[in-house]
Amino acid sequence: MQIDIIGVPIDLGADRRGVDMGPSAIRYSHLQQKLQDLGYTVQDDGNVEVPIAETCKITNPKLKYLDCIIPMSRRVAGAVATSVQAGHFPLVLGGDHSLSIGSVRGAARNRKIGVIWIDAHADFNTAETTPSGNIHGMSLAILAGLGDKSLVQLWDEALPVIDPKKIAVIGARDLDSGEKANLKKAGAMVMGMEQIDRYGMVTVVQKAIEHVSHDVDGIYLSLDLDALDPQHAPGVGTPVPAGLTQREVHLACELIAETGKLIGMDVVEVNPILDVQNQTAKLAVEFALSALGRRIWDGQ
């Protein structure tokens, strides 16, 4: 299988700057070589064109940088759709989580997919519920058909990209009140830190896989590095204490890999400005390798 690396250096979806350098930091951590060492053919397609914030305007404080995020989302969707339709595996590097409006849409073009969203946040706000106006906190809701029409449709599609009942959020621990109501109404599965603490990561991930994998053509994994506890991943824009350990995220990726249904992956919200010796970017590479089949020991 060929892996297509697609960089999306966007920081328009968030308040804190710096995640636009995330793709470079991840590449610098020997991503391509390590994927090739696993036996994959790897092509780095470079970065999708993203305007810098200084050239964009905020015309609606509840949907910041909307006019620049829409064309970015279309370009990302096109790049991912091209990769999947060629039978390749798109590995999308971020950048803030608004890029998933495009990446997941591209993977879902002409196919039915389930989504596993590993994140400290559910990203299920709309313009009506957002406390910040940051679109990276709306990505999953938009994919489920909720929110601003121009983002939900992007082109002319009227239906949600993803059936909300084919969505599972893992590791959530920072949800807004309106966001909670949106999640309940939509019927998305949320397995937060409480469930992980109670039942363990294996049970939680298995439940998530079961929830999203029936009657679909594949599973898409979107991994936000702020899912981890900040002591493990300091280089993220919106850190939240009491998060996942490195081993828990590796285990989740390994279990998802074992399904044989993974068709694409995002690794997002790496902020080198806030990182320590590129620690978070290195983790991003290691998690991608786990999701793509690397094991510490393959014997019996």
Q: Which residues are catalytically annotated?
A: 97, 119, 121, 123, 136, 224, 226, 269
Beta partners for 267? 93, 223
Beta partners for 268? 224
Coil/strand/helix, residue 271: coil
As given in the structure block, the two tokens for residue 259 are: 């399904």
As given in the structure block, the two tokens for residue 268 are: 């997002």
Coil/strand/helix, residue 259: coil
Amino acid in the structure at residue 198 = R
> Which pairs with CB-CB distance under 8 Å and at least 24 residues apart come from 275-279?
275/25, 275/234, 275/235, 276/234, 276/235, 278/25, 278/28, 278/29, 278/235, 279/233, 279/234, 279/235
Cβ count near 202 (within 10 Å): 12
CA distance 56 to 58: 7
